[in-house]
Structure 1
Amino acid sequence: MQPLLDGANLRIERGERVALLGRNGEGKSTLLRLVTGELEPDAGEVSVPEGMRVAELPQELPEKRDLTAYQVVAQAFPETGRLLERFNELSMTASNEDDLQQMQKVQERLEALDGWLYDQRIRTVLEQYRINPEARLDTLSGGWQRRVLLAKAMVTDPDLLLLDEPTNHLDVPAIQWLEGALAQFQGAVLFVSHDRAFIRAMATRIIELDRGALTSWPGNYGQYLDAKDKALADEERQRAEFDRKLAQEERWIRQGVKARRTRNQGRVKELEAMRAERRQRRERSGKAKIEVEDAGRSGKLIAEAQQAGFAWNAEQPLIHNLDFMLLRGDKIGVIGENGSGKTTLLKLLLGDLEPTEGQIRRGTRQEVAYFDQLRGKLDPEKTAFENLSEGRETVEVNGRSRHVMGYLQDFLFTPERARTQVRMLSGGERARLLLAKLFSQPANILVLDEPTNDLDVDTLELLEAQLVEFKGTVIVISHDREFLDHVAGSVLFLDGLGGVHETIGGFSDWRREGGQFPAEQPAVSGSGSGRRSDSGAGTSQSSGSRAAPTSGSGSGSGGNKLSYKYKLELEQLPQRIRDLEARIAELHEQVSEPDFYQQDNDTVQKTLGELSEQESELESAMERWVELEEMASG
């Protein structure tokens, strides 16, 4: 068995923020456990200078969640935490002399341990992180639970902070808050992450675990990518030269009797050494092979919402006044703070929920494959093979019968890992298994709820490419900013007040259009309720208008700088652009039909001419929209 770490050397200096990269299963979490002392190395040593404090933010959320935030953070000081908890309990329930005596003993021990100082430190950190000390963990979202765990790590004032996939379960404001908190941290940080935007923002150095070797790459993530490409190309050339020379020596040793009689013993020994070196070579593991099972085309319309909304109660609707059309082939990214209604929006569009106001019309021939954020579709007690096969030996993928074991190998499962219970798999392996299960189902609509959690960068990039090439419809809920930039044709932002706002492009385009999350905005002055200002302002028109440039249209500040005629034209342009886009999409669909050019020449030329004309009109409309927007804002 190959070692996970082979002669690894690592030194971390105070103030560094070091990103640990590597494919799933390479041993990144194992390295973190070596640093914490949870594991002992088979060879060599791991040393932390005496008096240095190491804290960690684990990858998994705690199983025991009936504790308050205060109790969780107090666990950072085991004895003191238990005493503080006991003192608080007795102070609330003491009713006799025995209780008072116990309380006295607890108080004396706390004073001996400077326990009240720790109590103050715990409450100060909770206040800094805006966490209610009495909030029970099981009532908090995944993002807030991560925040409590980070408070537990930071309350010890560590010299080295270890983070294992810290952005999992966090929405974008929480990720950016984490980036800010870590930027102010004076100690060293060693973190494992596959969130490329987070790595770009945080890392001052990259270390990579690849085939047992640990390599340090000075500089930021962009410099690492350039240097890594060059290093891989150099390695490929060196190996090719080595293999050429080895093949030459193998031919020499197999020559006839005369050659063997006179062969040089030194050369023979050199050949034996080369053979040994070749046997020890560790090849890079292959890339996952993701192939989407196509169910045939759905109807052109996927869903159309008209003044639609949904509310669990009448006080605050999750979705309100939604006007939106989803068409076949759209690639939609859905963003918003945790609890803003993203999953509810998906269920409304796909028919799992019916609107409590307005109406939603849905299309035909829809085959939906759903990637579950909580991995609920995997049975933890069954093996990876059993979860995928469901009693079958083969699966059908794009008209081809594939053996389940061979199909799992496409997703980097060895036969041994395929026979492993899901509860024993890493987070990355579970994500890949769910992708394998998802893509073995015929689908023309892919719905992915946080698909990037736990996936390594190579698999992420392959998934991005497959989603872009997929002919059907893709709806993605994600907090991975770079993933959305690469996949989404437009972004739906839920402002948390019922509004749904659409912007053409990915996350960065939404930002450029002025997009902000409620947590990033100042409270509205003079508002008795203290509610934040509308997060969609400046990103698009009213709730959920079809993908078209609508920033500031007919509602924005500066609209009064236009005459009534130009203002009316600016308000009408988004609908004109949407109509043109829809017609162009229809014409492109006609032209791409296999038998299009088998029609008579007049019909072909008429269609191509209309397509050219519509595209020219769209370009003119977009230019006019930009011109009027500049007039309005200038």
Structure 2
Amino acid sequence: MLSVSNLSVQFGKRVLFDEVNVSFTQGNCYGIIGANGAGKSTFLKIISGKEDPTSGHVHLEPGKRMSVLEQDHYAYDEHTVLETVLMGNKPLFKIKTEIDALYADYSDENADRIGELQVEFEEMNGWNADSDAAALLSNLGIPEDLHYNLVKDLDSKQKVRVLLAQALFGNPDVLIMDEPTNDLDYETINWLENFLANYDNCVIVVSHDRHFLDAVCTHISDIDFGKISHFSGNYTFWYESSQLAARQRAQQNKKAEEKKKELEEFIRRFSANVAKSKQATSRKKMIEKLNVNEIKPSSRRYPAIIFEREREAGDQILNIDKLASSIDGEVLFKNVNLNLAKGDKVVVYSKDSRATTAFYEIINGKQKALEGKYEWGVTTNQSYLPVDNQEYFENDLTLVDWLRQYAKTEEEREEVFLRGFLGKMIFSGEEALKTANVLSGGEKVRCMLSRMMMQRANVLMFDEPTNHLDLESITAINNSLKNFKGTILLTTSDHEFAQTVGNRIVELTPKGVIDRYMSFDDYMNDPKIKEQRNQMYAVEA
């Protein structure tokens, strides 16, 4: 359906893609993965015609329609919401616009032309276009009373949903999306996962959301060393199988036949687990294609993230009494009463990210509460990763000197130790001499994680730790927190993170708090909790 031939991309002396040949076929969903800077977004821009390669060709099968998730949130500001969605199907929208123009200036001379256009319009199911577009918008959380508003009157999160509806509209043959889950809530992502898992055409997507990639992908397309390789299966299969293959490569004495049996057993177990999932029917074709011969060790480098505690905390961790916060008179949360126990791994959740950030800033002494109080246990020491870390990097210290600020021993202050520590966090060689004020978003987060590791706290707090990180870093920190023996407070838009780390959910709402010892999925899918959540967020008439 879509093929790439001899594609090369070069920026100066840097070769991003080198003679890439790859095809994308109908009925499959391809998750494009690769380290930060590997060229994921560039590749999507090239296959969608927004950028030209240095050499090579992109070929879309004649008669097939491609749709691309728009990244410019201001591109349709002067159009209505419904019209913006209809514009996602360009051939249909063009005919509709011409019909409307001819009717506005009706004459006997253009009657025949109107008739011709209406036949085409009907063949494209045009008479149902408005209702189909409206249904998509409603499913994505845009209520009907906004459908005829201008896009510029919507907030940023609503605009994202309108542009997503535009990309999905009209059942395109090839659907291309770069980070489609950004700024979407749990319910909307869940709807999108189900929509794409049952989508019959070709989907090509870049995402850092592992749960999303697992739910929708039949293939993983790995960008590595300037090439793109397809692997059957979802992200978890690719990750676990490549890790297994890497371990096998290190086992020189194990016979080839034993290794093959081990891989076959891995595929059997994985397939059995997928068959039990909610997307079992649509994932059947993915399971059937899993192949021992495709499994290869990954060349990916994963940062060494290990959180150790200087001491174990006592039983009293954190007591919160009637805590409340507001912004400009708007209540973010109130009546928060919590008692944290040792070993709690709390997912702090809210539909309003301002609420969770305010909560962390208050209990870390950086912001005053509207009312209420909190008290940390005397045996606790805390480490906090804020969503906005800019204040830590407004200096020109090298990374070695920046990290030295958080050293606790003479050994840790030595350059050899600091360079080794940074090397484990993928800052190798000269990168350790970069200055703090020129770092990228992902590099800053890796520095903040290094700082947290050196603090050796027994209580860790994270406000959106996966922002700016690549899949390798996300996977590494996720695995580390699963194994951490202390107490964790975590806010994340990464579903997999929340589900695999959390054993307690605390939801902050304008009417109080919901507090449950259960997994994230169980919490979100519990009918009684759903009803309670709706009441807690309901706006009084």
TM-score range, shorter chain: 0.5 to 0.7
2:480 corresponds, among 466, 489, 493, to: 466
State the Cα distance separating 1:202 from its structure 2 match: 1.0
Distance in 1 (alpha carbons) for counterparts of 2:65 and 2:532: 32
Whichever residue aligns with residue 514 of structure 2, its letter is H
Structure 2 CA distance for partners of 1:335 and 1:366, relative to 1, 3 Å: same
Whichever residue aligns with residue 286 of structure 1, its letter is R
- Counterpart secondary structure, 1:9: strand
1:342 aligns with: 356
1:499 aligns to 2:512 (yes or no)? yes
- Equivalence map 1:102-117=2 (5 Å): none
State the Cα distance separating 1:475 from its structure 2 match: 1.0
Q: Is this contact kept in 2: 1:293–1:398, CA < 8 A?
A: no
Structure 2 CA distance for partners of 1:74 and 1:489, relative to 1, 3 Å: closer
2:339 corresponds, among 313, 320, 325, to: 325
1:401 aligns with: 413
The size of the alignment, in residue pairs, is 458
Whichever residue aligns with residue 493 of structure 1, its letter is E
1:605 aligns with: none
Structure 2 CA distance for partners of 1:309 and 1:233, relative to 1, 3 Å: closer
1:190 aligns to 2:179 (yes or no)? no
- Equivalence map 1:444-593=2 (5 Å): 444-470=458-484, 472-494=486-508, 496=509, 498-511=511-524, 516-517=529-530
Give the TM-score normalised by the residue count of structure 2.
Answer: 0.66
1:27 aligns to 2:42 (yes or no)? no
Whichever residue aligns with residue 511 of structure 2, its letter is G
Distance in 1 (alpha carbons) for counterparts of 2:475 and 2:524: 22
State the Cα distance separating 1:176 from its structure 2 match: 0.9
1:306 corresponds, among 321, 329, 349, to: 321
Structure 2 CA distance for partners of 1:74 and 1:12, relative to 1, 3 Å: same
Structure 2 CA distance for partners of 1:285 and 1:511, relative to 1, 3 Å: closer
State the Cα distance separating 1:190 from its structure 2 match: 0.9
2:27 aligns with: 15
State the Cα distance separating 1:187 from its structure 2 match: 3.2
State the Cα distance separating 1:462 from its structure 2 match: 2.1
Whichever residue aligns with residue 287 of structure 1, its letter is Y
- Equivalence map 1:166-177=2 (5 Å): 166-177=180-191
State the Cα distance separating 1:452 from its structure 2 match: 2.2
1:287 aligns to 2:299 (yes or no)? no
State the Cα distance separating 1:7 from its structure 2 match: 4.3
State the Cα distance separating 1:20 from its structure 2 match: 2.0
Whichever residue aligns with residue 498 of structure 2, its letter is L
Between 1 and 2, higher relative CO (CA 8 Å, sep ≥ 6) is seen in 2
2:175 aligns with: 161
Distance in 2 (alpha carbons) for counterparts of 1:220 and 1:283: 15
Q: Is this contact kept in 2: 1:166–1:193, CA < 8 A?
A: yes
Give percent identity, aligned residues only.
Answer: 26
Q: Is this contact kept in 1: 2:82–2:133, CA < 8 A?
A: no
Q: Is this contact kept in 2: 1:299–1:365, CA < 8 A?
A: yes
Distance in 2 (alpha carbons) for counterparts of 1:462 and 1:140: 34
| C-alpha RMSD of the superposition | 5.2
Distance in 2 (alpha carbons) for counterparts of 1:423 and 1:153: 37
Distance in 1 (alpha carbons) for counterparts of 2:154 and 2:253: 55
Whichever residue aligns with residue 290 of structure 1, its letter is I
Structure 1 alignment gaps of length 5 or more? 88-103, 242-281, 533-634
- Counterpart secondary structure, 2:493: coil
Larger Rg: 1
Structure 2 CA distance for partners of 1:291 and 1:222, relative to 1, 3 Å: closer
Distance in 2 (alpha carbons) for counterparts of 1:375 and 1:181: 36
Q: Deviations over 1:228-261 (max 9, x none)?
A: 34544565579999xxxxxxxxxxxxxxxxxxxx
Q: Deviations over 1:432-462 (max 9, x none)?
A: 3443455556755432112124433432232
- Counterpart secondary structure, 1:25: coil
- Counterpart secondary structure, 1:24: coil
Q: Deviations over 1:163-222 (max 9, x none)?
A: 222223332112112223434644321112232221221112222223334322224445
Distance in 2 (alpha carbons) for counterparts of 1:518 and 1:201: 26
Whichever residue aligns with residue 165 of structure 2, its letter is A
State the Cα distance separating 1:333 from its structure 2 match: 1.2
2:161 aligns with: 147
1:214 aligns to 2:228 (yes or no)? yes
1:55 aligns with: 67
- Counterpart secondary structure, 2:299: coil
Structure 2 alignment gaps of length 5 or more? 1-12, 256-296
